Amino acid sequence: MLSGKIIGRLSMYRRVLGNLCDSKERRLFSHELASLSGVSAAQVRRDIMHIGYSGNPNRGYDVEALLESIGQFIDEPGGHRVALVGAGNLGRAILAYFSGRRPNLSIEAAFDNDPEKYGRVILGYRCYSIVDLEAVISEKNIRSAIITTPASVTQSIADRLVAANIRGLLNFAPVALRVPSHVYVEDIDMTTSLEKVAYFASKTSYTKG
């Protein structure tokens, strides 16, 4: 069974390898990639084995070829088109963040229900009325969506996205979405993450006195 964790690690390896490639590194060992990725060396070797690439004992892995293999394993041929729903503070920060970050992932449209926002171009991305969600997604052949709407409307937005044939959701709203099993949901819950940090930060300071 294919786990989301390996995709996450491969994504991280690719970023590390991309930096190495830029600085003209040609080869590296599993323990080097492990150290730069915060993963164990054995895990790195297993992951690389998994995508069908082979290294060379005593010479390690070819940076460029490994990068290529990871791309072939992860990337959708022809690129993957994404929509952003909710062009508030967080949504706009995400638009800025993803600008040109992954060539294979392109944000094709933003949506909002605020007339002040739709009908304009925000940070280089066209913003549409939420009314046109289904039409634009279909027309532009968008397959995934980033949701940054208020919690109260998130489930209904997700329902509409699923009906519009979206297959993956990146959900920033603090809501447990109900979607059919063929739709993949990844949650980013910033409040929960910060609460975890605060919890463990206070515990370690307690144990230290």
Partner DNA sequence: TAGATTGTTAATCGATTAACAATC
Burial 161-177 (b: 16+ CB within 10 A, else e): bbebebbbbbbbbebeb
In the set 143, 153, 160, 164, which binds a copy of itself (CB under 8 A)?
A: 143
CA 18 to each of CA 6, 36, 97, 126, 187: distance values in angstroms, whole numbers, following the listed order: 18, 12, 18, 30, 26
Residue with tokens 């933003």: 110
Which option in DNA, a copy of itself, none does residue 100 bind, with CB closer than 5 to 8 A by kind?
none
Which option in DNA, a copy of itself, none does residue 191 bind, with CB closer than 5 to 8 A by kind?
a copy of itself
CB of 171 to DNA, least distance (A): 19
Task: Give the pair of three-digit tokens for residue 197.
Answer: 């940090």
CB nearer to a copy of itself: give 7 or 49: 7
In the set 146, 157, 158, 161, which binds a copy of itself (CB under 8 A)?
A: 146
Cβ-Cβ contacts under 8 Å for 49 (sequence gap 6 or more): none
- Can you tell me the distance from the alpha carbon of 43 to that of 39, in angstroms, rounded to the nearest whole number? 7
Task: Give the pair of three-digit tokens for residue 46.
Answer: 């297993």
CB of 37 to a copy of itself, least distance (A): 6
Which option in DNA, a copy of itself, none does residue 96 bind, with CB closer than 5 to 8 A by kind?
a copy of itself
Residues that bind a copy of itself (CB under 8 A): 2, 4, 7-8, 11-12, 15, 36-38, 74, 76, 80, 82, 89-90, 92-94, 96-98, 101-102, 104-105, 143-144, 146, 166-170, 174, 176-177, 182-184, 186, 188-205, 208
